[in-house]
């Protein structure tokens, strides 16, 4: 496996497919780089270099007890891009990975980037506060934490079986393969790491980071996203990023990189080439 060790001693797994302009993918919670495989094989086959890593504590990366926060996630990403000397890259983030993208740009700038993309992403801020009334109450995230401590395996079966892919909607046809792949990726992650990451993706305020975006940015979000509601996320991010394009998928769920992968791939390709 391809790995590198961060400055604080965490071993990070990454995959590096193909050759050409780099496209870098940051995954969601509690998943790993494999969650992007439908996009990576699509782009690598079209002459792009596709790079994705397993966030610290997730997938095949090591499981540090501390440092499971957005600053460390962003710094790990920066070290990977420096190691590979990535230039003129397009950086995409899905869900929690969108927070990683935002914090990376906020802390490290865009010198290695040509464009960015936020797909079903958590910025600007998921938590409901006095100045963020569209966010979700803290009780929602406390509930996820409690469910993880009570029975993590069952939680990781319930989420993809229901709201993540919209399989709880009338007429939906669940894919057991997709559900099992989600569960497997989640269970590979560390219990403590994925638990801590709930706070990272829900309570981190990315509004300042988004204001530092100075490259073209694609935002894709489903208007039936039950995990990261579009009004608090995709639409709010589009208002904060100067050079952004928002594409709303009517009726699409959170996990649209799987349920709508052909449309997602086409829209991402048009953005990369445009």
List the structure tokens of 179: 């559900």
Question: Please, which residues have CB within 8 angstroms of residue 208's CB and are 6 or more apart in sequence?
Answer: 106
Question: Please, which residues have CB within 8 angstroms of residue 167's CB and are 6 or more apart in sequence?
Answer: 160, 161, 173, 174, 179
Number of H helices, E strands in the chain: 10, 8
Contact 73, 102 (CB under 8 A): no
Residue 121 annotated to the active site: no
List the structure tokens of 140: 């929602």
Give the helix/strand (H/E) hosting 194: helix 191-203
Among residues 35, 95, 197, 244, the one annotated as catalytic is 95
Greatest alpha-carbon span in the chain: 49
Residue 225 annotated to the active site: yes
Sequence-distant contacts of 82-86: CB under 8 A, at least 24 apart: 83/4, 84/16, 84/22, 84/51, 86/22, 86/24, 86/51, 86/112
List the structure tokens of 49: 């270099």
Cα of 38 vs its chain's centroid, Å: 14
Among residues 61, 254, 258, 267, the one annotated as catalytic is 254
Cα of 176 vs its chain's centroid, Å: 22
Residue 158 annotated to the active site: no
Among residues 32, 196, 209, 225, the one annotated as catalytic is 225
Which residues are designated catalytic? 95, 225, 254
């Amino acid at each position: 496996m391809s790995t590198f060790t961060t400055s604080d001693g965490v071993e990070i797994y990454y995959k590096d497919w193909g050759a050409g302009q780099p496209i870098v993918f940051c995954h969601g919670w509690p998943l790993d780089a494999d969650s992007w495989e439908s996009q990576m094989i699509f782009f690598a086959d079209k002459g792009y270099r596709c790079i994705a890593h397993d966030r610290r504590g997730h997938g095949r990366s090591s499981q540090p007890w501390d440092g499971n926060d957005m600053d460390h996630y962003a710094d790990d990403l920066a070290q990977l891009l420096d190691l590979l000397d990535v230039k003129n890259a397009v950086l995409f983030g899905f869900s929690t990975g969108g927070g990683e993208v935002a914090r990376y740009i906020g802390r490290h700038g865009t010198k290695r980037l040509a464009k960015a993309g936020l797909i079903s992403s958590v910025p600007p801020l998921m938590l409901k506060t006095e100045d963020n009334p569209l966010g979700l109450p803290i009780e929602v995230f406390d509930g996820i934490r409690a469910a993880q401590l009570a029975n993590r395996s069952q939680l990781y079966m319930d989420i993809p079986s229901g709201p993540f892919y919209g399989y709880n909607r009338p007429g939906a046809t669940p894919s057991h393969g997709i559900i099992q792949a989600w569960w497997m990726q989640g269970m590979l992650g560390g219990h403590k790491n994925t638990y801590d990451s709930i706070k990272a993706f829900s309570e981190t305020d990315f509004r300042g980071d988004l204001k530092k975006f100075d490259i073209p940015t694609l935002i894709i979000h489903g208007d039936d996203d039950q995990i990261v509601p579009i009004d608090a996320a995709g639409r709010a991010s589009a208002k904060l990023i100067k050079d952004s394009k928002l594409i709303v998928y009517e009726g699409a769920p959170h996990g649209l990189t799987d349920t709508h992968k052909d449309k997602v791939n086409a829209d991402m390709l048009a953005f990369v080439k445009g």
